[in-house]
Amino acid sequence: MTRLTTCPDPASVAARASALIVRALSSARDQRGHAHIALSGGTTPGLTYELLALQEMDWEGVHVWFADERCVGPGHEDSNYRLASETLLGPAGLAAAQVHRMQGELGPQRGAELYTAELQGVLGSPSLPVLDLIVLGIGPDGHVASLFPGAPALRISGPPACIGISDSPKPPPQRLTLSLPVLRAARGCLLIATGASKADAVSAMLAEPSEHVPASLLRRERLSVIVDDMALPGGAPG
């Protein structure tokens, strides 16, 4: 069953989300000696990342990956890496060896090939890398990472772990994204949403699974959702 937490405002969403991330990473490292987290971009998670950087957290053994990336350079204003670097990676002092950037500047195909290889090389999975936690936002259309409604990528059931796309309806059009099987294989997904523009998508995510709502295809029993009151005014269905 999906764990749904509602908070009064974005600041309290960020506080709950950062605390959940610390617990998840600490537990993973205690169990396996290391922890692997993938981060999303967009405008929602920045406050969570800033609070996460202020937490009492030993980052030794933590590896940071990305759920998706735009096909731009790491210093571009659209770069998800730049967002994470400014809000979390720099302030928390993570070493370069702990950070696995998607090389979006190489383009969708080459960037996806290299990231798939890096995931398999580091996580040692012959087919499907298993991350400990994937932090996701959600679009008003129900997309997560760069998996959009009705996308052919939603029907891929196996490798590759990272997919290049060139027709994102959310600009920029060229992106890299973890595949749906990788999102579903993760030990946990944390989805955060704030604001009235996400209310319909969050409700649709919690309803019947549908390729029209990619977020609804996440593994429900491994999913934690933290929203503010504006993002779920009608209350969860069912």
User: Which residues sit at the interface with ligand 6PG, rule CB under 6 A?
Assistant: 40-44, 67-68, 80, 137-139, 143-146, 170
Q: Which CB sits closer to ligand 6PG, 76 or 170? A: 170
Q: Which CB sits closer to ligand 6PG, 67 or 217? A: 67
CA atoms within 13 A on the CB side of 113: 4
How far apart are CB 145 and ligand 6PG at their closest, in Å?
5
Q: Which CB sits closer to ligand 6PG, 137 or 160? A: 137
Q: Which CB sits closer to ligand 6PG, 29 or 161? A: 161
Identify whether 160 is preceded by a cis peptide bond (ω within 30 of 0).
Answer: yes
Q: Which CB sits closer to ligand 6PG, 43 or 55? A: 43
How far apart are CB 140 and ligand 6PG at their closest, in Å?
8
How far apart are CB 124 and ligand 6PG at their closest, in Å?
26
Q: Phi/psi at 189 (nearest 5 deg)?
A: -120, 140
Token duo for residue 164: 């290049």
How far apart are CB 11 and ligand 6PG at their closest, in Å?
15
Phi-psi region of 93 (alpha: psi -120 to 50; beta: other; left: phi over 0): left
The answer to whether residues 66 and 163 touch, using CB atoms and an 8 Å cutoff, is: no
How far apart are CB 143 and ligand 6PG at their closest, in Å?
6
CB-count burial class (<10 Å; 0-12, 13-18, 19+) for 4: middle
